[in-house]
Amino acid sequence: MISKSRIKQIQGLHNARSRKEEQLFIAEGEKTVKELLEQLPSGIEEIFATSEFLEKEGALIRKSGVLFSEVKEDELSRISTLKTANKVLAVCRYFDVKEKVGPNDTSISLFLDEIKDPGNFGTLIRLADWFGVAVVFCSPGSCDIYNSKVIQATMGAFIRVKVVYTDLSVVIKENNFENVYGAVMNGANLYQENLGPGLLVIGNESTGISIENLKLLTRSITIPSHSSNGTESLNAAMAGAIILSEFFRKIKI
C-alpha cells in the first residue's frame, strides 16, 4: 500500500517543475530499473514493484540495499507515467554523470539545439552513449532529460551520459572548441570532409539550428541524399546516428 500523500507526490514528478523542486524523477520498466540497480543503486530513492518483479529480481534488490515496496498493479498504474504500467517504477534522485573525456582533447561533444521530441532526445542520448560522446550540451528549451519518456528512450544510457543545459555561446566560450560543426541542409558533404574533434550541433526537428546559433558554427555539414525525389529530410535522431558514426570512423577507428 502506498499512502495517498505519497501517490500525490509521485504524480507530481510527472511534471518538470516539481521534478526540479524535489530533485527527483521517475524511471520505469524492468530493463531500466534493473540497469539502475546494477549500475547506480545510490541514485534510487525507492522502488515500487509488483510481486512478479520482486520474485524475479528480489536478490538483486536486496543486494543493492535499496528501499522498496510491493504494490498492486492498480496502485502502480496510479503513479506510472505510462499508458500501461510495467511491473516496476523507481523514484530516483538527480545525479551527476562524469564526462567521458574532457571537451578539449580528442573527443567529440554534442549540442542539441531545441530538440523537443522525447523520443528523438532520448535516442540521441543513447547514441551518445554508444559512440562515447564526452558531454551532451542542450539549449535550455530542449527536452528535460528527467522526463520519463526521455528516460525510457535512452534505454539506460541516461546513467552514463553527462547532460548539461546551457547556451551554445557559453559552451563554446567555456570549452574553447576549435571546431563547431552543424548539421544543415546545404553544407559540405559529410563523407568528404576532414572531420576532427569538436562540437557537433544538431537542430530542432522542424526549424533546424536557430539563426543565432548558425552564426557560431565554424563548419556546416550535410548528409548527401540518394533519393530520386528527396523532399523529406532525415529526422534529428537518424541524422545524429549517421553523422556521429562518420565522426567516430574518422577520429577513432
Binding site for its own copies (CB under 8 A): 35, 39, 100, 123, 126-127, 129-132, 155-157, 160, 189, 191-192, 223-232, 234-235, 237-238, 241-242, 245-246, 248-249, 252-253
Between 59 and 253, name the residue whose CB sits nearer to its own copies: 253
Q: Which candidate, 34, 86, 29, 90, places its Cα nearest to that of 59? A: 34
Residue 162's Cβ-count burial label (10 Å; 0-12, 13-18, 19+) is: middle
How many residues are recorded in the chain? 253
Between 156 and 182, name the residue whose CB sits nearer to its own copies: 156
Least distance between its own copies and beta carbon 105 (Å):
14
Between 39 and 169, name the residue whose CB sits nearer to its own copies: 39
Between 96 and 232, name the residue whose CB sits nearer to its own copies: 232
Between 4 and 226, name the residue whose CB sits nearer to its own copies: 226
SS3 221: strand
120 Cβ contact partners less than 8 Å away, ≥ 6 residues apart: 205, 235, 236, 237
Neighbours of 248 (CB within 10 A): 16
Least distance between its own copies and beta carbon 86 (Å):
15
Between 121 and 131, name the residue whose CB sits nearer to its own copies: 131
Q: Which residue's entry shows cell 530542432?
A: 204
Least distance between its own copies and beta carbon 209 (Å):
20
Q: Which candidate, 233, 230, 217, places its Cα nearest to that of 177? A: 217
The C-alpha cell at 119 is: 523520443
Least distance between its own copies and beta carbon 173 (Å):
27
Least distance between its own copies and beta carbon 196 (Å):
16
Least distance between its own copies and beta carbon 160 (Å):
6
4 Cβ contact partners less than 8 Å away, ≥ 6 residues apart: none
Between 3 and 227, name the residue whose CB sits nearer to its own copies: 227
Sheet holding 88-93, edge to edge: 24-28, 88-93, 44-49, 68-70
Least distance between its own copies and beta carbon 76 (Å):
23
Rounded to whole angstroms, how far apart are CA atoms 238 and 253? 21
